[in-house]
Chains A and B, each alone.
Chain A
Amino acid sequence: MSIAATQKQGFGAVIWDYLTTVDHKKIAHLYTFGGGFFFILGGIEALIIRIQLIKPENDFVSAGFYNEVITMHGTTMIFLAAMPLLLGLMNAAVPLQIGARDVAFPFLNSLGFWLFMFGGILLNCSWFLGGAPDAGWTSYAPLSTTSPGHGVDFYVMGLQIAGAGTLIGGINFLVTIINMRAPGMTYMRMPLFTWATFVTSILILFAFPALTIGLFLLMFDRMFDSAFFDVTLGGNTIIWQHLFWIFGHPEVYILILPVFGLFSDIFSTFSKKRLFGYTAMVFATMLIAFLGFMVWAHHMFTVGLGPVANTIFSIATMAIAVPTGIKIFNWLATMWGGSITINSAMLWSLGFIPSFTVGGMTGVMVATVAADYQYHDTYFVIAHFHYVIVGGTVFGIFAGFHYWWPKMFGRILNETMGKIAFWTFFIGFHLTFFIQHFLGLMGMPRRYWVFLEDQNLDLGNFISTIGAFFMAIGVIVFFINAIYSQVKGEKAPADPWDGRTLEWSIPSPPPYYNFKQLPLTRGLDPLWVEKTEGNGKMTPAEPLGEIHMPNNSFIPFVMSLGLFIAGFGFIYQTDNNAWFIALFGGMAIALGAMIVRSVKDDLGYHISKEELEREADE
């Protein structure tokens, strides 16, 4: 097994290896490919939206199709692109940053990925099966419960399956970070990205169940004739909004906290300084997460909750600006007095500061309840959250990939292409979204298929569309760069950036067991500590010995496939009872796979000491 992994493999063997892998580094690749695919898909949907809005009363797409596109753009970008790409970065970096050989539950890690992938594919199957969901990514009842066709059913089942995968991933990272830290890696020595992953996982653990419940209620309303959201039968539609946003607001922080973490690592590395105010940064992260759970109703200011609820949620939301401000100033202070290298990873990080600050500013503005009566559901809000999610999360994902690409794939991304991608995307991003603040205040509500003539909205929308194409060019250049670097890129050394944390102490890409001997951590930025003391490499915390490794497994794939088939059964049994065969058949496959997993002893295998020594000689 271990020998096979080190030999040159055929194409089929590589595919089989990826289908069965439980190695966090390969799962990171899978998340990157899967998330990258959906990112392109969501991007194409975004371009369709912008082409439709290039001029007033355009008829590029029909009204019904437009609603499908906006729904899928939001759903895809949040659930199937941003989160998986972040999970990819977490998988790539976190076990290495804490000096672990893998995550706590490698099998579950694989299961989490395949659930996400099959959920995403199920959701996108709707395009070919009568139309995608069209009730917005928020899927407000009763529009979602009354939407004809199966579109919203695909939304429910796809997200339910993908969401289970994310929840599993979150729990896995929690357990990993609590239990798998190398000797000396105390909590307050963890790199900020690991801290952010830890806090994000807590958010996932508490936020996703609200979505799961909401989706179950919606599923029963649509597929089994219940009436949780049917007002005429005593249901209540506002409950959906509460459940959705109790999940939905922490979700925003699930998207932004990991990039806060990785920016902290990047600023520190490329300024050659330790992070300014480390303790404050850790506690600010926790405070943001904590407050993030008690502000959901700021998405519902116009629902009619009354002034008491509105102002409480309004002020709680403004309070989040305080820890976020602490972070911005600590990053600036980290760079202050440093020796700053500006490369692509750093460019994306430096581009993030002004962009995200604007997003934060408008965040406080939309939190102001009586002002939000004007902003709510307009292009102002579109501009605000794209400044946060693109200017924050997407910039962070690009920065993270430039930073960790050498560790993930053993190659360094091309700097020239990296810079071209950054500048086109950065300029395009501001062109697209800055003007939308004004479009919103000038009276353009969001989710408008057409805007009418003679409303002074033409120029703003035109500029916005031009900007979107610049962003598309930036993304294309990045993808070309990624492929080019794999073929012709410079081979990465172990430590290309003069790094400070443990992942840079092992080869790029790391051997499948990561650390031959677990490293001893002697302070914050452990590799930097060793460098300043003249050692240049980590001191082992254990003698060279056998390493216990998990076996690959095809079961996670089968389990997810079973749920995927059952998903179709759930969706179509409303049309024809014969589909119950798919429902129960799929469930049987999933359950069977679980039973096999439970009764079959899989104790993994050991890499012998001799083998490790032999490899060291090569």
Chain B
Amino acid sequence: MKGWMGKLRALFLLGLVALILSGCGRENLTALVPKGYGSESSMKLIILTTVIMSAVFVIVMIVYVIVLLRFRKKKGQENFIPKQVEGHKGLEAVWTIIPIILVIIMAVPTTLISFDLAKTNDQKDSINIDITGNQYWWHFDYKGEEIQTSQDLYIPVGKKVYLNMLSSDVTHSFWVPSISGKMDVNPDNTNTMYIQAYEEGVYWGKCAELCGPSHSLMDFKVIVVSEEEYEQWIADMKSVDPKAKPENSVAQEGQELFEANNCMACHAIGSSPIATGPNLTDFGNRTKLAGYVEPTKENLVEWIVNPEKIKPGNLMTGKYPAVNKEEAEKIAEYLLQLKPSEIGPESAGK
């Protein structure tokens, strides 16, 4: 009997653990498993307030249940008139003062953590990246390094990285739940926040402020690599030769088509101030196409031929003469071999 109970209990515990694990969401996306300084700070407050508030809820529910069990109209007492109580000074004082104390308990750490997360005292000595939010993609400019890239943000593990964010069109919001809380990307003024990731990995980022039809497809990734890998990546990105001819002849034709269709009016390869469209320097290393599609050749061809189908309301549609499928395949061949660095998404966490 005892063994049977023990087994049942083990099964129950196992189920509970599984439920909690799956209930916390996808690793490197969920805010419930913090892997950075900002998300960890927020999590402290989330836990504190949840515990206090749940206690309040439990107290309310205990009184509520007692009221419902004890004071319902009883059979045979239909004409019973309860005592008309005006109030009770002592009781009312209790449920005024205790909440005030609870608010103070929550207010102090809230204030400390908020000021801590807003610090910028070591910004000058840290890595600074200028981020531009665009409908519906992200532009990253590594300050002092002459490196521009899009969609995949490479940062070193454990280091504070300052993000200076501005929008080129409407308001966006930069959110990598596992690493840090969000901050709005306004067209008016540059907002600065820092992020610091504790573990290597590919983290999911989201736009959190409604910005148009493809708001939900404006995903990006933060790729956290070791410090050496980061240095390597910086060096590789800096030494890119934008005019380099690809080895493959199909890719060479693709490069010619890329130029003939004037793609580089919007899409720079290598360091360039052009940021009308995403910078394609390390396009072959991208985790996703258009922010959310698997980076296969077929998907890329479809993206080039009919962008509207993949990202409604995007600003690339109609900006270039119609490209047929064959041409698109050549361009895709060219773009997918743009891998200036050995350091890619696979490097993170290995």
Residue ranges of A at the interface with B (Cβ–Cβ < 8 Å): 62-64, 66-67, 134-136, 140, 142-143, 146, 231, 236-238, 271-274, 276-280, 302-304, 306-307, 310-311, 314-315, 318-319, 321-322, 325-326, 328-330, 332-333, 335-342, 350, 353-354, 357-358, 361-362, 364-365, 368-374, 376-378, 438, 441-443, 445-452, 454-457, 532
**A140-B95 contact, Cβ under 8 Å, with A238-B188, A303-B184:** no
Q: In the complex the two chains form, what is the Cα distance from A137 to B26 in whole Å? A: 30
User: Are B183 and A304 neighbours in the complex by a CB distance under 8 Å?
Assistant: yes
With a cutoff of 8 Å between Cβ atoms, the chain A residues found around residue B184 in the complex are: 302-304
Instruction: Flag whether B144 is at the interface (Cβ < 8 A).
Output: no
| A357-B213 Cα distance, complex, nearest whole Å | 35
**A146, A364, A374, A445: which has the most chain B beta carbons within 10 Å?**
A374
Beyond known contacts A303-B186, A318-B103, A456-B26: 4 more, CB 8 A cutoff:
A135-B210, A272-B82, A273-B84, A376-B182
B191 and A335 contact, CB distance less than 8 A: no
Choose one: B169, B180, B187, B216; the contact of A448 (CB below 8 Å). B216
Residue numbers in A under 8 Å from B341 (CB-CB): none
Q: How far is the CA of A307 from the CA of B212 in the complex (A)?
A: 29
Q: What residues of chain A lie closer than 8 Å to B213, measured between beta carbons?
A: 62-64, 66-67, 134, 449
Chain B residues closer than 8 Å to A377, beta-carbon distance: 173, 175, 182, 208-209
Closest residue of B by beta carbon distance from A231: B187
Binding site for A on B (CB under 8 A): 22-26, 29-32, 38-39, 41-43, 45-46, 49-50, 53-54, 56-57, 60-61, 63-64, 67-68, 71-74, 77, 80-88, 91-92, 95-96, 99-100, 102-103, 106-107, 110-111, 113-115, 117-118, 169-171, 173, 175, 177-178, 180-184, 186-189, 191, 204, 206-217, 219, 292, 312-313
Question: Bound complex: CA of A339 vs CA of B71, how far in Å?
Answer: 6
| Residues of chain B lying within 8 A (CB to CB) of residue A443 | 25-26, 29-31, 177-178, 204, 206
| Cβ–Cβ contact B87 & A318, under 8 A | no
Nearest 7 pairs of A and B residues by beta carbon: A373-B181, A442-B25, A448-B216, A63-B213, A361-B53, A304-B191, A371-B45
Q: Which residues from chain A contact B26 at a C-beta distance below 8 Å?
A: 442-443, 454-457
Chain A nearest Cβ from B164, distance in angstroms:
11
Tell me the bound Cα distance from A271 to B110 in angstroms.
Answer: 41
Q: Which residue of chain A is the closest to B170 with respect to CB atoms?
A: A143
A340 touches B72 (CB 8 A): yes
Contacts of A361 in B (CB 8 A): 53-54, 56-57
- B73–chain A nearest beta-carbon distance, Å: 5
Chain A residue at smallest Cβ distance from B87: A277
Question: For the complex, what is the distance from the CA of A328 to the CA of B61, rounded to whole Å?
Answer: 11
Neighbouring B residues of A303 by C-beta, 8 Å: 184, 186
Q: Which residues of B contact A311 (CB under 8 A)?
A: 110-111, 114-115
Q: Are B212 and A143 in contact (CB under 8 A)?
A: yes
Whether A370 contacts B171 by the Cβ 8 Å rule is no
Checking B103, B182, B212 against A373 with a beta-carbon cut-off of 8 angstroms, the contacting residue is B182
* Majority secondary structure, B binding face: mixed
B219 touches A452 (CB 8 A): yes
Per a CB cutoff under 8 Å, which of B23, B32, B88, B186 touches A333? B88
B217 to chain A minimum Cβ distance, whole angstroms, is 7
- B91 contacts which chain A residues (CB < 8 A)? 329, 333
- The reply to whether B216 and A449 form a contact with Cβ atoms under 8 Å apart is yes
Are A142's CB and B189's CB within 8 A?
A: no
Query: Could you list 25 examples of A-B contacts with CB < 8 Å?
Result: A66-B213, A140-B209, A231-B187, A237-B188, A238-B188, A279-B87, A280-B92, A304-B183, A307-B117, A310-B118, A319-B103, A329-B63, A330-B87, A339-B74, A339-B81, A354-B64, A365-B46, A368-B106, A374-B46, A374-B181, A441-B30, A446-B208, A449-B217, A455-B25, A456-B25
A338 contacts which of B71, B211, B312 (Cβ < 8 Å)? B71
When distances are taken between beta carbons in the complex, the residues of chain A under 8 Å from B113 are 370
* Complex-state Cα separation, A353 to B102, whole angstroms: 20
> What's the minimum C-beta distance from B326 to chain A, rounded to whole angstroms?
28
Residue among B53, B210, B211 with max Cβ neighbours from chain A (10 Å): B210
B114 touches A280 (CB 8 A): no
Could you tell me if B73 and A302 are in contact, using CB atoms closer than 8 angstroms? Answer: no
Q: Quick one: which of A449, A454, A457 contacts B215, CB cutoff 8 A?
A: A449
- Chain A residues contacting B71 (CB-CB under 8 Å) are 271, 335-340
CA distance A364 to B22 in the complex (A): 27
Assess whether B25 is in contact with A330, with CB atoms less than 8 Å apart.
Answer: no
CB-CB < 8 A to B73: which residues of A? 339-341
CB-CB under 8 A from A276, the residues of chain B are 85-88
Residues on B with C-beta less than 8 A from A452 are 219, 292
> Which residue of chain B has the shortest Cβ distance to A230 in the bound complex?
B187
Task: Name the residue on A nearest B177 (C-beta).
Answer: A443
Q: How far is the CB of A260 from chain B (nearest CB, A)?
A: 15
| B92 lies within 8 A of A304 (CB) | no
A455 contact set on B, CB distance < 8 A: 25-26, 29, 204
Q: Are B85 and A274 in contact (CB under 8 A)?
A: yes
Complex alpha-carbon distance, A319 and B100, angstroms: 7
Complex Cα–Cα for A365 and B182 (A):
16
Complex contact B42–A371 (CB within 8 A): yes
Question: Are B210 and A370 in contact, CB atoms less than 8 angstroms apart?
Answer: no
A365 to B52, CA, bound (A): 10
Contacts of A279 in B (CB 8 A): 87
CB–CB B204/A280 < 8 A: no
Query: With the chains together, A384 CA to B292 CA distance in Å?
Result: 29
Contact between B60 and A332 (Cβ–Cβ < 8 Å)? yes
Q: Which residues of A contact B106 (CB under 8 A)?
A: 318, 364, 368
Partner of B67, one of A318, A336, A442: A336
Residue of A nearest to B113 (CB): A370
Asked if B103 and A339 make an inter-chain contact with CB atoms under 8 angstroms apart, the answer reads no
| Cβ contact within 8 Å between B312 and A350 | no
Closest A residue to B61 using CB positions: A354
Q: What is the CA–CA distance of A340 and B100 in the complex, to the nearest angstrom? A: 31
Shortest Cβ gap from B74 to chain A (Å): 8
Which chain B positions have C-beta within 8 A of A231? 187-188
Closest Cβ of chain B to A544, distance in Å, is 32
Report A-chain residues with C-beta under 8 Å of the C-beta of B56.
325, 357, 361
CA A329 to CA B62, docked complex, whole Å:
12
**Could you say which residues of chain B place their CB within 8 Å of the CB of A370?**
41-42, 45, 110, 113-114, 117, 181
Give the CA-CA distance A263 to B217 in the complex, in Å: 43
- Asked if residues B210 and A342 are in contact (CB atoms below 8 Å), the reply is no
Q: Closest chain B residue to A312 by CB distance?
A: B111
Chain B residue contacts of A280, Cβ below 8 A: 87, 92
Bound: A496/B45 CA distance, A: 49
**Which of A280, A449, A452 has the most C-beta atoms of chain B within 10 angstroms of its own C-beta?**
A452
Partner of A332, one of B63, B178, B206: B63
Q: Which of chain B's residues has its CB closest to A531's CB?
A: B81
In the complex, what residues of A have CB within 8 A of residue B46's CB?
365, 368, 371, 374, 441
Q: A67-B213, A376-B208 are in contact. Are A322 and B83 (CB under 8 A)?
A: no
A67 to B212, CA, bound (A): 8
CA distance in complex: A90, B111 (Å): 41
B61 CB contacts on chain A under 8 angstroms? 354, 357
Contact residues in B for A364 (Cβ distance below 8 Å) = 49, 53, 103, 106
